[in-house]
A and B are shown apart, each in its own frame.
Chain A
Amino acid sequence: EDKVVQSPLSLVVHEGDTVTLNCSYEVTNFRSLLWYKQEKKAPTFLFMLTSSGIEKKSGRLSSILDKKELFSILNITATQTGDSAVYLCAVELPRGGATNKLIFGTGTLLAVQP
């Protein structure tokens, strides 16, 4: 069965701290791995990773994929209270001629305290 596992389930830090969120996966077929940030409502897209070892960076956020060990990490440096959210990891599975699907992890709830 395809699955995506995230850790930790929740995390409380203080502003300015650096955090690392983990995502491991076991899937029969892999196309890409995606990170989303979910506040109260819709998940918003952060990164899409397809190749091992290439870091993607956006401001204080960065992410990297290891396709050999089947995991990805999301780093947030100098955290701010606005970073508080659930961070979702999803793996995109190709389905032949059908539309690719996303399998989501349960997410990591990050709380950044002032």
Chain B
Amino acid sequence: GAVVSQHPSRVICKSGTSVKIECRSLDFQATTMFWYRQFPKQSLMLMATSNEGSKATYEQGVEKDKFLINHASLTLSTLTVTSAHPEDSSFYICSARRMASGSVRRETQYFGPGTRLLVL
């Protein structure tokens, strides 16, 4: 299978603090990882695309200085929400792109379990 983990699963923090969320692909290498945000009753919205060893590509309207992304290895990407505010409270989900090879016929995105962030 293709398993993606996220840590922590839930975090509560005070306004103004920074929060780091980790996304790991456990049994495959992912040159590309994606970070999404999902507000209640809304769709998953892509925030940024993270490529190993290079700068992340941010979607329009997402502040790169506020949402810092580091993709230091083929199995780990981190999202840091800096100076978090209550409006940043959301469900953050990462996905990892598994390249087509061998029995995997086509590249597919596999999602992590998500991190629920509550900023007080």
Contacts and interface: CB of A to CB of B under 8 A. Distances in A.
A88 B111 CA distance: 13
Interface stretch (B42-50, B62-70, B81-89): B42-50
Central interface residue in A99, A104, A105, A106, by most chain B CB within 10 Å: A99
Nearest to A41: B113
A51 B19 CA distance: 42
Given A42-B93, A42-B111, A43-B111, A102 B106 contact: no
Contact of B111 (A44, A98, A99): A44
Contacts of A102: 34, 44, 46, 109
Nearest to B59: A101
Contacts of A106: 41-43
Contacts of B46: 101-103
Size category of the binding interface on chain A: 10 to 19
Given A98-B49, A99-B49, A45 B43 contact: no
Interface in B70-101: 93, 97
A48 B43 contact: no
B57 A42 contact: no
Contact of A98 (B43, B57, B108): B57
Q: What range describes how many residues of B lie at the interface?
A: 20 to 34
Interface string A90-114: 1000000011011111110000000
A18 B108 CA distance: 28
A107 B36 CA distance: 15
Interface of A: 4, 36, 41-45, 48, 88, 90, 98-99, 101-107
Given A48-B108, A101-B49, 19 more contacts: A4-B43, A36-B111, A41-B113, A42-B93, A43-B111, A44-B111, A45-B108, A88-B43, A88-B44, A98-B49, A99-B32, A99-B49, A99-B51, A99-B57, A102-B44, A103-B46, A104-B44, A105-B43, A106-B43
10 contacts: A41-B114, A42-B112, A43-B93, A88-B44, A98-B57, A99-B97, A101-B34, A101-B46, A102-B34, A105-B43
